Amino acid sequence: MESVTTAGFGPPQSDPHQADPKRRGRLRWRSRRGLLENDLVLTRFLDRYENGLSDEDVGALTQLLELSDNELMDLILARTELPSGFGPAVGRLLGLLRSV
């Protein structure tokens, strides 16, 4: 199979995110948060959008998951704006998170 790059978020992968159930499971596990509100939003988001996420979307979500629980909650609730260091894919994914 041809190598697929995850939009600059790590090394090339031999299988895209959606083709590998283990990768989907790891994403869902990584989305579990200490702050219940984040956990609920992320669970609803994945229940609704997981099967349609591209590798670029997964990379954007991974960037958001690297934030602290409070930073992530402030972004989801639009209390703060996305810092300029994040790309448009992260902004688009944040919009989806805010919609659930």
Q: What is the mean pLDDT of residues 94-99?
A: 93
Listed by start position, the domains of the chain span 17-99
| 3-class SS letters over the chain | CCCECCCCCCCCECCCHHHCHHHHHHHHHHCCCCCHHHHHHHHHHHHHHHHHCCHHHHHHHHHHHCCCHHHHHHHHCCCCCCCCCCCHHHHHHHHHHHHC
10 versus 73: the higher-pLDDT residue is: 73
pLDDT surpasses 60 at 72? yes
Q: How far is CA 9 from CA 30, 70, 87, 100, in A?
A: 16, 23, 12, 25
CATH topology of domain 17-99: DNA polymerase; domain 1 (1.10.150)
Q: Does residue 7 carry a pLDDT above 50?
A: no
Whole-model pTM: value is 0.73
pLDDT digits (tens, 9 = 90+) for 9-59: 444 444 456 666 777 777 767 777 777 888 889 899 988 988 888 888 888
What was the pLDDT predicted at 5? 41
Model pLDDT, residue 76:
93
